[in-house]
Amino acid sequence: MTPEIALNPELATISRIIVLVALTFYAFSFIVLAWALTKRAGGKGKKDAFANRLDTIGLALMGIGVLANGVGVLTRGIAANRVPWANMYEFSISGAFVVSAIFLLVLFFRDLKFIAPFVVGFVVLVIGSANTLFYVQVESLVPALQDYWLVIHVSVAILATAFFTIGATLSLIHILKETKRIKNSKSKAGIAFTKLLKVFPKSEKLERTYYQFNIIGFILWSFTLIAGAIWADKAWHRFWGWDTKEVWTFIIWTIYAAYLHATTTKGWDGKRAAWLSLIGFLAIIFNFTIVNLYFKGLHVYSGI
């Protein structure tokens, strides 16, 4: 008999309110950071003092959002009396926190402020979707998930996804910079967008940077795959069962392995490498949304 786990729905409600507060700060951060980026595109670039002040304000708002996000995740875990990533809502708010926190930490070592609006904008979409589409009340875990491997396996998956998210953002910018149709556009929108793209670093630097994020993500994802197999053997007495989630986890691993192999041994660079990096991230999004919502299997954990 599995002991009854005490749940706290009232605290879960407070947690959701705190997460919505975090969403508000993230949203204002996105507005300010996007304003700074467009101001820099139309002005003096990195020397634009007003844009620099906007960056400082936007990142401060993002920092407050991260703190509130973290408190929301923590209180959700306390309310559920377990780690807060057992369903799509919990994974989303935890993932948003980790992506934002890692990005802010990276800023101490790398000047990546130019992608801040994209990162925080993605976080706004994730938390917004979590609260409107994925929210569920706190509930106990099924017996197979009541294991310390839940902490190890899912926490590493969240970390890997955070690094892949930043890598995908840089890949997208690289693709846009190398798209000739945008460069050659004579329309007002095209010219404005071309000026915006000039704010970003050169393609070679972008490529080196997202490669570094992707290789860290790949290492973490490899551990996710291995840890998942070990946990599956403990829970279901087999390392691999061709479950939908297992298959897609392996597909994602294969795409990023192909990306790393192509860039290091085949000399792939430019848009081809960027597209492969972006396809890997789109596979992660598909795995998290479509697979969880519309496929059946032992690993499907939408909670909806």
Question: What does the pLDDT look like over 159-180, one tens digit per residue?
Answer: 999 999 999 999 999 998 888 6
pLDDT bracket for residue 230 (50, 70, 90): confident
| Location of structure tokens 């660079």 | 269
Express each pLDDT in 185-222 by its tens digit.
666 766 777 788 888 888 889 999 999 999 999 999 99
pLDDT digits (tens, 9 = 90+) for 110-147: 999 999 999 999 999 999 999 999 999 988 776 666 77
CA atoms of 147 and 45, how far apart (whole Å): 51
Q: Which of 278, 246, 245 is nearest to 259 (CA)?
A: 278
Q: Are 214 and 260 in contact (CB under 8 A)?
A: yes
8: alpha, beta or left? (left if phi > 0; alpha if psi -120 to 50): beta
CB 235 within 8 A of CB 291: no
Instruction: State how far the Cα of 158 lies from the Cα of 85, in Å rounded to an integer.
Output: 9
CB contact at 8 A, 100 and 142: no
The pair of three-digit structure tokens given for residue 65, joined into one six-digit string: 């959002």
| pTM > 0.85 | yes
Task: Compute CA distances 24 → 20, 65, 66, 69, 298, whole Å.
Answer: 6, 8, 11, 10, 35
DSSP-H helix ranges across the chain: 9-42, 49-80, 88-106, 116-132, 148-177, 180-183, 188-198, 203-236, 244-264, 270-286, 292-294
- The per-residue pLDDT for 5 is 65
pLDDT band at 298 (very low <50, low <70, confident <90, very high): low
Q: Say if CB 267 and CB 276 are below 8 A apart.
A: no
Report CA dihedral (29, 31, 35, 37) to the nearest 10 degrees: 60
